[in-house]
Amino acid sequence: MAKLKRLLAPEFWKVPKKKATWAVSPRPGLHKKFECIPLLIIVRDILGLAETGKEAKSIIKKGEVLVDGKPRKDYAYPAGLMDAVSIPKLNKHFRIISCSKGLKLIEIPEKEANLKLLRIRDKKIVKKARIQLNFHDGKNLFVEKDVYKTGDSVLVELPSLKILEHFKLEKGSLGLILKGKNAGKLAKVLEVVIPRTQEPRKVICEVEGKKMEVVFDYFFVVGKEAPAIKVSE
């Protein structure tokens, strides 16, 4: 088991720093180490469904925890931004969202447990001129029509990833700020700035009546007039 010193663990993991020396480290791959939460920590420390790591592992290995509609039996599985976490036995469903401290879980209605917003990180043309969309959570999807752009978001059905809606990053769109002191807040897009120089792309938006700039990669479109699904408390 990969381990991480508890003193280095992000605050949003909610692991007691002085109770023990080590915490489980998330399995590498889908998300950056400190931009996700291992399933064991979700079950034991955040949701309080187990008192010990052993109990949490037992719950997870029995397939009682679903992430994005699929049972995940790896206690180090890295759950990240916008992932849907379900506990069918308890009929409880949660989504991981951004907040000022990093990430947190919010409870969502059952009807939204099979839905997810995916931000398009980039896209590329592969064999036979097929278009592949690469998403923020490591997933990818082939599409027929080249109507999607980097920074756009899609609402998909889980676990099939069938696209239900497409939300463009454009003036008037509604988005979620991912990092900084305003992380977790909803913002209305006023302008998308893509400079011809090497300066970073940015989104000019309105947050709680104030105009501000957000780095392009830290803005996640979640709908048009209102969020397509619950993404904030």
Q: For 98-113, write each residue's pLDDT tens digit.
A: 999 999 999 999 999 9
Report the C-alpha gap between 104 and 39 in whole angstroms: 13
Query: Strands 36-38, 66-67: parallel, antiparallel or unpaired by DSSP?
Result: unpaired
The residue ranges of every structural domain in the chain are: 3-112, 115-167, 174-223
- The confidence score (pLDDT) of residue 1 equals 56
Choose which CATH entry (3.10.290.10, 3.30.505.50, 1.10.1200.10, 3.30.365.10) describes domain 3-112. 3.10.290.10
**Parts of the chain with a pLDDT under 50:** none
- The confidence score (pLDDT) of residue 161 equals 95
Q: Please give the CATH number for the structural domain made up of 174-223.
A: 2.30.30
- The confidence score (pLDDT) of residue 45 equals 95
- Picking from 7, 22, 64, 18, the residue whose alpha carbon sits closest to that of residue 39 is 64
Q: By CB neighbour count within 10 A (0-12 exposed, 13-18 middle, 19+ buried), where does 187 fall?
A: buried
**What is the third-level CATH fold of 115-167?**
OB fold (Dihydrolipoamide Acetyltransferase, E2P) (2.40.50)
- The confidence score (pLDDT) of residue 194 equals 87
Q: For 23-54, write each residue's pLDDT tens digit.
A: 888 988 788 889 999 999 999 999 999 999 99
Q: Cβ atoms within 10 A of the Cβ of 223, count?
A: 19
- The confidence score (pLDDT) of residue 68 equals 96
